[in-house]
Every structure is written in structure tokens, then in C-alpha cells.
């Protein structure tokens, strides 16, 4: 198995912006360096490994939502052609309990990825391993299961659900919100609901597992190689160093591919029991129940304000669904508590246990549904007062974080409102609902704001300057399409002083220097900092050799420093030799220079480092220190609603965003547009539909679970208004990937109200809610 390498293809484009020589530096519009490999098919994804003796596993799922497995009859499956192994809770090997993603120790000594007690429809209860995939599928259909079924709680609307469990950590209060609301001259109160959503990544979940003695290699799409490797090591009682996770390419994750899950344990256990590699790829329906998407949420937002529009009180109550046997909290006050200045605030949240898989992180967890509530409510308040919705947001602009009373590190939200409004033409909006039309189409304009915290952590990287003058970067961080390969290459190229196409980036292997989770929009800031530090150290070594080594052509100059640019080394005044990096290394007899850089605190122990890279316990809070750190955005959206049929189309989007310094504007713009597209899907299309008789997801496929296609998406204009924020990262960038989805759904809902006069508070906005 060879290491995975990416070398720049420094191609020219018809657009002159893309052909600039500075594209290879940080801030340049370099095209994604992994693009050619993906376009030509050279990119090898996890499931595409060709291993000798590869067997195939298929999962068997529960067909009830609640109860116990009375018996599993595997006799027919065991005698089917090609079958190697049939696993049930009674026949699978013992697997140890593993600590959670925070590093908390396991609550049980053992872990059973195959359930005896069923808590949701689709839960894994058995598995079949055979010589071929087709044989495994056929045999899995022969497994007969009998149950003792009990009543299920199907969703938040189920009468059996109750009020839920209070989550004290989510309580946020200052002032006297209840009294201030009661005394306010104008009051609004409304409930806002979001439905279950699923990541729907193009690449399904799955893995290939291979044991060689006590060493385990896993090929699996992963947003967190080191964290998942820790879980495998703990499950099977082997040293962490014995587990290798390989994931050079990922076909979409959106938060779903950061943890080792039940099917992962089954595949690794099967491989160990059989003594041969096993491949397990989930079917598309299994991708809806093997891990959790965004939990359904319910929020009530009450706002008290003066006649001048100044908010006097916000009272917020939220609830999200979680699993019967697991806990997930979708922090519903995360935007509500900081977006607007208010002297009195109260937010409390409960979770309700229902018969579903444990929900999980989907793009901007918490911030996304939180913004739907508060940004819809602000629009309702503006309408009641007869104030322009954009002006209402400016009237209540928070000059500092109202929750922690700290200044923002940077907050270019005023600039975002101004730039977006000007480009969109917001001044031409007529305020009365149903006042803008084009024939039978009602036209609506809506605005909403969004935010996402700067989640900081630590990472490490190795940078090598090789004998031929090229530069090599290694890290176990990953690229799931957001551009890690490219921005790390740009960072190394700019720092060392070589052309971008002379940089090779190696990612996606847990044997490389460590990195934390690629989630929460933290990876770019973390890893550019680590690569910058390593590259700076390597450059210092290079210049030091050139100055001090007697064999160097620069030794006689007695210079204090040298210039390294475009792969060549010169004296600052141009009065000395001019040699390539390769020529210098040859002259001093070196075949490489290597440096490791990390962003960990200087006094960190080995245990500190292990904990940092394999848990999220050491993530740095966005309000630590003197500042509150966030990215910001403002969305201006036009919809067209057919007056007769009630169909809604998004016809125009202008979004202005503050993500600080952009390491690569071309890639950042792509990430922003991707988030906006997902927001359009959330607002108009996406909804996990439950068969209330059986607690079963009925639209568990990409034909019935609707996601946006090209036909649903207009041209999207994104505008960067950010400035470098050195309080947030070494190079001044802030989060990009999660930000843009926040606020899209309420902007669309507000536009629909402007078009139709009908306020839809339950997503998605479908035609039956309008006609």
C-alpha cells in the first residue's frame, strides 16, 4: 500500500482571476488540487481497495420500533451458498466498551453492536458475511426474527412523548425576561418547528477491515481518523498505535462520518473472527437509520419590544428529540442568545426520548434551527411594528456578546447587511405582503442573519523540503471536499517560498502527524496554523544551512538572512549567488530538511496530546479570553410563489458573509454556496416522514427524501465582507463550512410571507401549507 500523494496541477483558466501567479499563495484562487484525480477516476475511495480474500458483510435490521428480539433463526442463512458467518447478539465476539467522543469512560464493560432490546426501526440485530456481496444479501433475507413488540413513541407529536427532560446546561438567563415581556408595549409569541433531516451524502457509510495479528487497518470515510482509531483500539483491547485508519477521499460527510458506529464494530469483529478482510457498505435505506441526522425541534419564541422596535425581552423555550437509549442535545439558544442586544433574556431546553436512532451533528447543529426561530420571530416583530425587517435588525444590533459581555473579535455583520442589501436591491422592496408580483407569480423578498462560533483546537503537521526542491506536507487531517489539500499546499508554498505546484500534500492516514476532528468549521484554522509553524521551522533550517555550512555558496557572504522565493535562494541585496533549493541541498550534502509543527501549548504532555487528537474535550471555547469569536452572515432571498398552485421557487440569492481572512476565496465561495443550497433544501424539501403505525422512516431513499437538484437552485451570489481576525486563528481566518446554512431557511420563510401573507412556521414549506 502506497502513501496517498497530491501534487498541484497549476492549470490556467479562461477567467483571468484564476490564472494569476499569486493563486498558489494563501488567499489565492487556486483550483482544488484533488480535482483532477476525482474527475479522472484516479481518486481511490475507502471501499475501492482491492484486497485478497475480501469477504462481504450485510446487516439485518429490526422491523419493529420498540420491543425485544425473542429469537433469531439463522439456520437457512448459515447453509446458503457462500456464507461464512452469521452474527447475532449471541454469536458475535465480545467487544469492550469504549469512551465517548468527550473522553468519558464507558458506562458498560462490553459493547453490543447487535441489539437484543429494540429501540427503533432499522436497528442492527444481525449480520451475514459471505464470499460475495450478492450471496450475503440473499442469505440475509433468509434470517428470520421474532419479536415481543411494545408500544413506540414515534416522534415529538406522540401523546406518549411527554414534556421531556430538562437540560440544565442549556439554561441561559439574565435580567428578568418574564416581567419585561409582560410590561412590553408590543409582544409576539410563536412556535417554530423543524423536522428530521438527514445528511444524504453521495458516498454511503461503510468500511473495509483487515487484521494482521493484533494490528487492525480500517479503510473508512472518516472526518476524524484519530478519534475513530481510538474507539477501535478500545473496542478490541489493542494499543492505539496498532490501529491504522485510512481515508484519503470522502464523498460527503456533513457531520455524519466522525464516529465509529455499530456497523463499524460488526465489520471489524467479523474480520477478526474470520481471519480475513471484510467489506461492509450500508444500503441507502440503512444510511437513514444506522446513524442520526438532525433531530426534529420545537421552539417557542416570545419577544417584547417598544414601539421604536428596541427589544426589551426574549423568552425562548426549546425541545429536541433524542433516542430512548442515547442522548443528543441540539443547542437551540445558540443564535437566539447572541444575535440581538436585549437587557432581559431567558432560554430553557428539554429533550424528549422517542424511538429513533440517536440524532447527530448535521451542518451547523444548534445554530441552524436556532436561527429559524429567532430570525422568523424578528421578521414577525418587524411586520407588527411596520418597520423594515433589515432596519429592525440594525436597531437591535449587538455591539458586544450580550451573553458573556465580551467584545466581538471581529463582527462585520453591519457590513454584510449593507453589502447584501445594495447588491440585492433591497431598497426597492415594497413592504406590504402580496404587493410584488409578475403575472401569476407572487414575489417575496426576505432577509435573515446567521452566525457560527469559531471552534478552535490543536493540530500538527510535518513539512519536508526534499532533495529535488519540492515540499511535502503530511497530516492525518482529512479533505471531504472542503479543500484541505489545497489550502495546506498554499500555506506551505507561501511560507517556504516555492511554487504551489512543487508542493505534495499527504492526508487521510492516521499514521501521519495527528489532527482533531474535521467538524465545527475548525480544521482550516487549526491545520493552516500547524503547517505554517512547521514550514517556518523548515525554512529557518534551510536558511540556517545556507548561511552557516562551509560548503554553501552563501557561506562567504556573512549574511544574516536570505530570500527564498519561487524555489530559489538569493541574498537580500542581490549581491550574491542565485541558486535553487535543490542546488543548495546538494551543495551541503542534505537530501531533505524536516520539521514538525503543532499548535499545542508548549508544556503539553504526551497524554495531553493524545487526549487532544482523540477526543473533543480540549477544544477551546469560542468565548475564552477577552473576545467572543464568531463568523457572521446575512442572506437576502427572493422567492416566486405560483398564485394558483402554491409552489415555491427560490429565484435569487445574495448572501454577504464574514469568515475573516479567506485562505482560498474560490473554495470558500463554493463552501458557502453548498451551505446555502442545503438551507434551500431544509426550507422547501427535506423532511423525514415517519409511518406513525410502526415508527418507521418511509422515505428512506434519495427518490423520496427530496434534496435540491440543479433545477431547484438559482444563481447564488456570495460576497465576502470579512477582515483578518488574528484572535481566531494564526492566519486570520474564521469558520466557513457551517456558516452559510444558518439563516437561509428563515430568510426563505420570511420571503414566502412577504409574497403570500401567510406565515409558515413549520418546515419544510410545502404547497399544502400555502393553498
Of the candidates 667, 738, 674, the residue with the CA atom closest to the CA atom of residue 453: 738
Instruction: Provide CB contacts within 8 A for 32, sequence distance 6+.
Output: 483, 485, 486, 667
Question: 273 in helix, strand or coil?
Answer: helix
Measured CA to CA, the distance from residue 553 to residue 547 in angstroms comes to 9
Peptide bond into 764 cis (omega under 30): yes
Taking residue 714's Cβ as centre, other Cβ atoms within 10 Å add up to 14
Measured CA to CA, the distance from residue 640 to residue 752 in angstroms comes to 8
Cβ-contact 738, 676 below 8 angstroms: no
Question: 27 in helix, strand or coil?
Answer: coil
Taking residue 713's Cβ as centre, other Cβ atoms within 10 Å add up to 16
DSSP state of 262: H
DSSP state of 456: B
Whole-number CA gyration radius for the chain: 28
Question: 38 in helix, strand or coil?
Answer: helix
* Beta-sheet pairing, 592-598 with 124-130: unpaired
Question: 212 in helix, strand or coil?
Answer: strand
Give, in order, the Cα–Cα distances in Å from 626 to each of 220, 296, 408, 631. Answer: 40, 35, 9, 17
Measured CA to CA, the distance from residue 771 to residue 765 in angstroms comes to 11
Measured CA to CA, the distance from residue 736 to residue 663 in angstroms comes to 10
574: left (phi over 0), alpha (psi -120 to 50) or beta: left
Which of the residues 330, 607, 738, 768 is marked catalytic?
A: 738
Cβ-contact 555, 571 below 8 angstroms: no
78: left (phi over 0), alpha (psi -120 to 50) or beta: alpha
738 among known catalytic residues:
yes
Measured CA to CA, the distance from residue 29 to residue 20 in angstroms comes to 8
Cβ-contact 254, 671 below 8 angstroms: no
Active-site annotation, residues: 738
Amino acid at each position: 500500500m502506497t502513501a496517498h500523494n497530491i501534487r498541484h496541477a497549476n492549470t490556467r483558466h479562461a477567467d483571468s482571476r484564476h490564472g494569476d501567479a499569486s493563486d498558489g499563495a494563501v488567499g489565492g484562487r487556486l483550483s482544488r488540487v484533488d480535482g483532477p484525480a476525482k474527475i479522472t477516476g484516479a481518486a481511490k475511495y475507502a471501499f475501492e481497495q482491492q484486497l485478497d480474500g475480501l469477504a462481504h458483510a450485510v446487516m439485518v435490521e429490526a422491523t419493529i420500533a420498540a420491543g425485544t428480539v425473542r429469537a433469531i433463526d439463522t439456520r437457512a442463512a448459515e447453509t446458503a451458498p457462500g456464507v461464512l458467518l452469521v452474527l447475532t447478539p449471541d454469536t458475535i465476539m465480545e467487544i469492550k466498551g469504549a469512551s465517548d467522543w468527550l473522553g468519558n469512560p464507558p458506562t458498560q464493560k462490553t459493547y453490543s453492536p447487535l441489539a437484543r432490546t429494540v429501540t427503533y426501526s432499522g436497528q442492527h440485530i444481525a449480520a451475514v458475511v459471505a464470499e460475495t456481496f450478492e450471496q450475503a444479501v440473499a442469505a440475509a433475507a433468509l434470517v428470520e426474527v421474532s419479536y415481543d413488540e411494545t408500544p413506540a413513541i414515534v416522534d415529538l407529536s406522540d401523546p406518549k412523548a411527554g414534556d421531556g427532560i430538562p437540560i440544565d446546561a442549556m439554561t441561559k438567563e439574565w435580567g428578568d425576561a418574564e416581567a419585561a415581556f409582560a410590561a412590553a408595549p408590543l409582544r409576539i409569541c410563536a412556535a417554530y418547528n423543524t423536522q428530521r433531516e438527514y445528511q444524504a451524502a453521495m458516498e454511503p457509510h461503510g468500511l473495509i477491515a483487515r487484521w494482521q495479528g493484533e494490528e487492525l487497518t480500517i479503510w473508512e470515510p472518516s472526518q476524524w481518523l484519530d478519534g475513530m482509531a481510538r474507539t477501535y483500539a478500545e473496542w478490541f483491547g489493542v494499543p492505539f498505535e496498532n490501529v491504522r485508519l485510512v481515508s484519503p477521499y470522502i464523498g460527503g460527510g456533513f457531520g455524519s462520518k466522525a464516529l465509529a458506529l455499530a456497523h463499524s464494530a460488526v465489520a471489524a469483529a467479523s474480520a477478526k473472527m474470520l481471519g480475513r478482510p471484510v467489506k461492509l457498505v450500508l444500503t441507502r435505506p440503512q444510511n437513514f437509520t444506522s446513524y442520526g441526522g438532525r433531530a426534529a425541534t420545537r421552539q417557542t419564541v416570545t419577544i417584547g419590544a417598544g414601539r421604536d422596535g428596541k427589544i426589551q425581552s426574549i423568552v425562548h423555550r426549546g425541545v429536541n428529540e433524542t433516542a430512548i437509549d442515547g442522548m443528543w442535545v441540539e443547542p437551540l439558544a445558540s443564535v437566539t442568545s447572541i444575535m440581538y442586544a436585549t437587557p432581559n433574556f431567558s432560554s430553557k431546553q428539554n429533550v424528549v426520548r422517542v424511538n429513533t436512532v440517536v440524532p447527530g451533528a448535521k451542518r451547523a447543529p444548534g445554530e441552524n434551527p436556532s436561527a429559524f426561530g429567532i430570525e422568523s420571530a424578528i421578521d414577525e416583530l418587524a411586520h407588527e411594528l411596520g418597520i423594515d425587517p433589515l432596519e429592525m435588525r440594525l436597531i437591535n444590533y449587538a455591539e458586544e456578546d450580550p451573553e458573556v459581555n465580551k467584545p466581538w473579535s471581529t463582527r462585520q455583520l453591519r457590513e454584510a447587511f449593507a453589502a447584501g442589501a445594495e447588491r440585492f436591491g433591497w431598497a426597492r422592496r415594497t413592504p406590504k405582503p402580496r404587493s410584488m408580483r409578475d403575472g401569476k407569480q407572487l414575489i417575496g423578498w426576505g432577509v435573515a442573519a446567521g452566525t457560527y462560533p469559531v471552534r478552535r483546537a490543536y493540530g500538527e503537521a510535518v513539512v519536508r523540503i526534499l532533495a529535488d526542491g519540492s515540499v511535502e506536507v503530511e497530516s492525518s487531517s482529512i479533505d471531504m471536499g472542503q479543500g484541505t489539500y489545497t489550502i495546506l499546499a498554499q500555506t506551505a508554498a507561501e511560507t517556504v517560498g516555492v511554487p504551489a505546484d512543487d508542493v505534495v500534500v499527504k492526508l487521510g492516514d492516521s499514521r501521519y502527524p495527528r489532527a482533531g476532528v474535521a467538524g465545527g468549521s475548525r480544521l482550516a484554522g487549526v491545520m493552516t496554523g500547524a503547517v505554517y509553524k512547521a514550514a517556518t521551522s523548515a525554512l529557518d533550517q534551510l536558511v540556517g544551512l545556507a548561511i552557516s555550512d562551509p560548503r554553501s555558496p552563501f557561506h562567504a557572504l556573512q549574511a544574516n538572512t536570505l530570500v527564498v522565493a519561487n524555489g530559489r535562494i538569493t541574498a537580500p541585496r542581490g549581491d550574491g549567488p542565485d541558486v535553487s533549493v535543490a542546488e543548495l541541498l546538494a551543495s551541503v550534502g542534505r537530501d531533505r530538511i524536516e520539521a514538525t509543527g503543532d499548535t499545542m501549548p508548549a508544556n503539553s504532555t504526551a497524554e495531553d496530546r493524545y487526549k487532544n487528537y482523540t477526543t473533543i474535550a480540549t477544544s477551546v471555547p469560542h468565548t475564552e479570553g477577552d473576545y467572543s469569536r464568531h463568523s457572521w452572515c446575512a442572506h437576502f432571498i427572493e422567492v416566486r410563489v405560483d398564485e394558483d398552485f402554491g409552489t415555491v421557487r427560490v429565484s435569487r440569492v445574495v448572501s454577504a458573509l464574514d469568515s475573516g481572512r479567506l485562505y482560498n476565496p474560490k473554495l470558500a465561495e463554493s463552501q458557502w454556496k453548498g451551505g446555502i443550497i442545503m438551507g434551500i433544501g431544509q426550507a422547501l424539501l427535506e423532511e423525514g416522514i415517519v409511518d406513525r403505525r410502526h415508527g418507521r422512516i418511509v422515505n428512506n431513499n434519495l427518490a423520496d427524501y427530496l434534496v435540491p437538484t440543479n433545477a431547484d437552485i438559482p444563481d447564488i451570489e456570495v460576497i465576502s465582507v470579512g477582515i483578518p481576525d488574528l484572535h481566531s486563528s494564526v492566519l486570520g481566518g474564521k469558520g466557513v463550512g457551517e456558516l452559510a446554512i444558518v439563516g437561509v431557511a428563515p430568510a426563505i420563510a420570511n420571503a414566502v410571507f412577504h409574497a403570500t401573507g401567510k406565515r409558515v412556521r413549520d418546515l419544510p414549506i410545502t404547497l399544502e401549507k400555502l393553498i
